[in-house]
């Protein structure tokens, strides 16, 4: 399985610039979406725009996703955003996903749960199934999710 590149939603760029998103201190979550999801970086702005395609709660997945620890650091004139690797363990009958979406949980400057970016979990593209009792750790690029130079 080869994961796709991280893609920022257009409004995330605005929210970083205007201070709505504080990538060091906001609660950042990663949610899993099914193959029914079609990313649209121009029109999707908040979690409510995409929850219809979220993996259903149960079988090892909890609606809303998992909380990850974000880092946003400046080094040599380049700011890098990264997070801990999201992971899930399948239960009962397991579950399948195709996309991971990062979002800031909560109301920030009147914006509820702004979405940040997404990754395709298998560039084939194919669903990734998390079987019963199997833990899948989605290992992110060691260079971070995105950079601003």
The answer to whether residue 2 scores a pLDDT higher than 90 is: no
pLDDT in tens, 63-111: 999 999 999 999 999 999 999 999 999 999 999 999 999 999 999 999 9
- Phi, psi (deg, nearest 5) at residue 45: -125, -30
Partners of 61 in beta bridges: 58
Provide the residue ranges of all domains of the chain, joining segments of one domain with +: 7-135
Q: Where are the beta strands (DSSP E) in the chain?
A: 7-8, 27-33, 66-68, 70-75, 78-83, 87-89, 95-97, 99-105, 107-108, 111-112, 115-120, 128-130, 135-137, 146-148
pLDDT at residue 96, rounded to an integer: 96
Question: What one-character-per-residue DSSP string does 62-74 give?
Answer: -TT-EEE-EEEEE
The answer to whether residue 131 scores a pLDDT higher than 80 is: yes
pLDDT at residue 53, rounded to an integer: 98
Structure-block tokens of residue 107: 């109301």
The answer to whether residue 1 scores a pLDDT higher than 80 is: no
CB atoms within 10 A of CB 109: 10
Predicted confidence band at 47 (pLDDT cuts at 50, 70, 90)? very high
pTM of the model: 0.96
Predicted confidence band at 149 (pLDDT cuts at 50, 70, 90)? confident
pLDDT > 70: percent of the chain? 100
Q: Is the peptide bond before 144 cis (omega within 30 degrees of 0)?
A: no
Q: Which of 11-15, 36-40, 67-71, 141-145 has the lowest mean pLDDT?
A: 141-145
pLDDT in tens, 11-24: 999 999 999 999 99
Nearest to 75 by CA among 12, 149, 7: 149
Contact between 138 and 88 under an 8 Å Cβ cutoff? The reply is no
71 Cβ partners below 8 Å, 6+ apart? 24, 80, 81, 82, 83, 144
pLDDT at residue 116, rounded to an integer: 98
């Amino acid at each position: 399985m080869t994961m796709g590149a991280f893609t920022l939603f257009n409004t995330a760029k605005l929210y970083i610039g205007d201070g709505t998103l504080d990538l060091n201190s906001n609660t950042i979550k990663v949610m899993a979406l099914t193959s029914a999801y079609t990313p649209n970086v121009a029109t999707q702005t908040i979690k409510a725009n995409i929850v219809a395609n979220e993996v259903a709660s149960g079988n090892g997945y909890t609606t809303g996703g998992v909380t990850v620890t974000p880092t946003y650091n400046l080094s040599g004139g380049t700011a890098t955003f990264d997070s801990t690797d999201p992971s899930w363990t399948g239960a009962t009958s397991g579950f399948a996903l195709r996309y991971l979406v990062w979002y800031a949980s909560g109301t920030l400057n009147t914006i509820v749960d702004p979405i940040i970016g997404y990754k395709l979990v298998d560039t084939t593209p194919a669903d990734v199934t998390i079987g019963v009792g199997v833990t899948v750790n989605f290992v992110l690029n060691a260079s971070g999710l995105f950079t601003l130079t």
